[in-house]
Structure 1
Amino acid sequence: MLAWSQTYFAKLQLRPCVVPHQYVIPSQELVRTLHRALEALQLEKRSCAELLAASGEQERMELLQHRERHAAELREQLQEARGGQEDLRNSLQLRDAEVAALHDDIRRLTERNNTKQEVIVKLCDQLTSCLSSGGRSDSQSLTQLQQEVENLKDDMEAYRTQTCFLNSELYQLTHLWRTSSQQETSLMLKCSHLQARLCQEESRYLGVLRQLLENKALEPAQRGAVQKMIADALKGGLKGVIRLDMARDHDEYGFQIVPEYEVEDMKLLAKIQALEIRSHNLLNQEGEDRPLIGRWAQFLAGRSSNDLCSSPELKGLLRGGVPREYRQRVWTWLVRARTRSARERHPQRYQQLCEKSDASPCPASRQIQLDLHRTLTTNQHFSSPSSPALQQLRRVLLAFSWQNPAIGYCQGLNRLAALALLVLQSEEEAFWCLVAVVENILPPDYYTKQLLASQADQRVLKDFLSEKLPRLSAHLQLHSVDVSLVCFNWFLVVFVESLPSDLLLRLWDAFLYEGSKVVFRYALALFKYKEEDILKIQDGVEIHQYLRFFTKTITDGRRLTSIAFSDMNPFPGRLLRNRRVLHLQRLQAELQDLEDQQEEFLTENLTENLTENRRDDKELDVSEDEL
């Protein structure tokens, strides 16, 4: 090993640096080259010294391995440097090409400039020759041009005079048009008031006839005369009195403004109520809507849908109702605020559920299809079997049945989704509105198979009715009238098809913001609104018939809203929640008792059957023995 080291050292002896003759190197460059060579030789010398100073073969081997690794690293660095040199060479070539292209552009621009200079010189020469040779002809052409200018000036003056005359005529016509428009507006307003007064007089007339007919002191001849007068008044129907504006048979959402009644005995009340509604709308609609629109416009000014936030001001505005111009925007915000977390987790949820509905048969699809044509049958958008709104409603209900398989589909959901479609004008937003109502606003188990939460709410309503309206509650109990037979449907569909459309939408404005206690407020307000009329009825069957349709006879929506949110106070949410929990527990206990009784009955019945079968078998055995 020592001999090998001496041989390696001999090979690393200092050697003179020989510069070939074919390279001519300046003196400074030669000095730098020699310095680099000297540094390299010194490094080799230092390495050899370290190798000789090593104490053992193992240490020398480690030094040699370290030097080899260092040499490999240097080779890699050299390779990278060569690669960088190649990149720089390519970049230089690109720059040279760009410089050559710029030189070509400069040459072309120079040639173009020289050409333009030549053209300018030629044009100057031509102009000079024309001025020197054609002085007389130019004077003639100048005279002709001046004459044409004078003619044009005359024409312009004539046109100016004509324009002034036409402007004067136009001003007079505009003034006449404005005057006639103001007169037309005044006449329309006067006509509306006259129509309203006519409706009021007709309503009073029919009311008086009805009171006369109910008077038992009338003689038969007088009663027959009154009946004939009522029949004559009803023969004309509603067309000549309340349908003066044929374009207003339905509101903006397609609901009938004046409801139709199918019960023959209610025709007189229906006509009186329709006249009152028509009169109220004509007299109060403009005066009520304009301040409301102004307040909403001021509140929403400069705000996007995402900027809306809960506040007492917004709560008060929603209780007063949202104008049609802003209802879609406000409802969209309310629905998104209720479903924000679910939508953030599943932003494409509705599209995915629709695809699932197309790919797989839904268990509730048959019932949904049956209920489609029973949905808002008096609404223009759902009355036709081929209406696109029905197909939109079908997709929304199928998507919800996949979204909430515990419910699937329950009768009543179609009306909730239909109203959401009419206002929000979007399938996806209507789907999320249905999710918000069923899963976030109303209590759990409201639409499940047993409807436990719905039944509990009816018991809570009876409690509130006895507390807020004790006289009416006692009157209903005296005549054995169960309000749940009427109110259950109110709560299940949140008054859809139970209230006129303007009142229904106003209720929903507050319902989507404040929650289900709004339903209780309006239910109690309806009974308060008609309390005196109900107290006058002394027959249970008549009371029940009256309760079936009286919600559609409400004419003063502002008064109903005031009763709901002022007269029904205080109405704490904690009290509502506690009552719900109490009645729900009682219902669950009753249901459990009923199930236990059924199981006990089945067990006893099964035991009796087994005993009888054994007795029959024993009798049969005895008879066989005797044989």
Structure 2
Amino acid sequence: MSSSTSKTQQFHKILTQSKPFGSKSRTQEEIDESLRKLRKLILVNGIPSDTDPALRPRIWKLLLRVNDLSADAYLRYVAQGPCYVREKIRNDTFRTLATDHSFKERVGEDMLVRLLDAFVWRNHDLGEIGRPGFTYVQGMNVLAAPFLYTMPSEIEAFYCFAAFIENNCPMYVQPTLEGVHRGLKILDRCLKILDPELFAHLRSKNLSAEIYAFPSVLTLCACTPPLQQVLQLWDFLLAFGVHLNVLCVIAQLLLIREQVIASKSPMKLLRTFPDLDAQAVIGIAVTLVRDLPQELYNELTKHPYEMRI
């Protein structure tokens, strides 16, 4: 039996143990323990999607706790037609992962527009019954792209995207992008502790995270090719928390640290990060957690979803 096949079987065994959430035959404690094992397996082995393409969609839906897939509801949102920010959506969707041919072959712009329209209508309707709502903001097109690429159907992509936005990083998609800007400030504070020399060099060139890391924080690194590496990074972020993306951006900096330190104009290097190497980035990010003060790490953990009054 090949190593890849063995890993796939391990995932299938845990997936069987991890569902359904509402099962009377399994306690919540048992389900939580299975999810803990699943997260550990993702960290240690990664998801072997090459041997079983259906594995990643199943795992993402499980991690996002997406169970109810109402086709009728989605079709009802779609039937409402263009939402009130359609022009803003169309200004972004045509350039979504524009250089990735595999994405362009699988995901048409019409699918992206339709999903984002439906998301706006969904939250417009829910907002009317006393629920905080969302609208389309910059970066949502890129955040939706991995779901449309990964999920077997547009409906599954829609509900996964909605759960992700509404539960995992709601502060990242407020009109002011409050969570993104907070994440960038935390990135600077983390880098100052984790690598004072690199931090000082960047600041000597008047480079803060707001200047060089905005796209990477805004899109959870989905703006950095190749897409297959982005998906592996997102396996990790969905399993352990999107807040860790801030440390993943720092990890990318550390991978080119010597070039940045040696450069008189480091922004030329940082304007376009090197191709993503998910395994290397995840490995570094995990080690960085141990070197952060607990108070700062707590702030990092909460920033994608905690609303400040």
TM-score tier, shorter chain, comes to: 0.7 to 0.9
Of structures 1 and 2, the one scoring higher in RCO (CA 8 A, sep 6+) is 2
- C-alpha RMSD of the superposition: 3.2
In the other structure, the counterpart of 1:514 is 240
**How many Å apart are 1:506 and its aligned residue?**
1.5
Choose which of 98, 101, 108 in structure 2 pairs with 1:389. Answer: 108
Moved more, 402-411 or 319-328: 319-328
In the other structure, the counterpart of 2:287 is 566
Q: Is the 8 A contact 1:525 1:560 kept in 2?
A: yes
Q: Deviations over 1:371-405 (max 9, x none)?
A: 33211212225547xx7632222221111111223
**How many Å apart are 1:351 and its aligned residue?**
3.1
Opposite residue 297 of structure 1, the aligned amino acid is: T
Give the % identical residues. Answer: 24
Choose which of 138, 151, 167 in structure 2 pairs with 1:424. Answer: 151
Opposite residue 315 of structure 1, the aligned amino acid is: R
Bigger Rg, structure 1 or 2: 1
1:321 equivalenced with 2:46 (yes/no): yes
Choose which of 86, 95, 119 in structure 2 pairs with 1:374. Answer: 95
**How many Å apart are 1:456 and its aligned residue?**
0.9
In the other structure, the counterpart of 1:576 is 297
In the other structure, the counterpart of 2:182 is 456
1:401 equivalenced with 2:126 (yes/no): no
Distance 1:305 1:327, change over 3 A: farther
Q: Deviations over 1:182-215 (max 9, x none)?
A: xxxxxxxxxxxxxxxxxxxxxxxxxxxxxxxxxx
Unaligned runs of 5+ in 2: 20-30, 125-132
State the distance in 2 between where 1:526 and 1:391 align: 33
**How many Å apart are 1:458 and its aligned residue?**
0.8
In the other structure, the counterpart of 1:551 is 274
TM score, norm. by length of structure 1:
0.41
State the distance in 1 between where 2:212 and 2:147 align: 23
In the other structure, the counterpart of 1:437 is 164
**How many Å apart are 1:461 and its aligned residue?**
0.8
Q: Is the 8 A contact 1:306 1:333 kept in 2?
A: no
**How many Å apart are 1:549 and its aligned residue?**
1.8
Paired residues, number: 285
Q: Deviations over 1:248-302 (max 9, x none)?
A: xxxxxxxxxxxxxxxxxxxxxxxxxxxxxxxxxxxxxxxxxx64x2442231355
Q: Is the partner of 1:473 in helix, strand or coil?
A: helix
State the distance in 2 between where 1:572 and 1:546 align: 29
In the other structure, the counterpart of 1:200 is none
Choose which of 191, 212, 220 in structure 2 pairs with 1:465. Answer: 191
Distance 1:448 1:331, change over 3 A: same
Q: Is the partner of 2:110 in helix, strand or coil?
A: helix
Q: Is the 8 A contact 1:339 1:432 kept in 2?
A: no
Q: Deviations over 1:40-88 (max 9, x none)?
A: xxxxxxxxxxxxxxxxxxxxxxxxxxxxxxxxxxxxxxxxxxxxxxxxx
Distance 1:502 1:381, change over 3 A: closer
State the distance in 2 between where 1:369 and 1:301 align: 39
**How many Å apart are 1:433 and its aligned residue?**
1.9
State the distance in 1 between where 2:157 and 2:239 align: 16
State the distance in 1 between where 2:167 and 2:295 align: 17
Unaligned runs of 5+ in 1: 1-289, 590-627
State the distance in 1 between where 2:239 and 2:73 align: 28
State the distance in 1 between where 2:143 and 2:295 align: 26
Distance 1:513 1:326, change over 3 A: farther
Q: Is the 8 A contact 1:490 1:496 kept in 2?
A: yes
In the other structure, the counterpart of 2:200 is 474
**How many Å apart are 1:355 and its aligned residue?**
2.1
Q: Is the 8 A contact 2:89 2:113 kept in 1?
A: yes
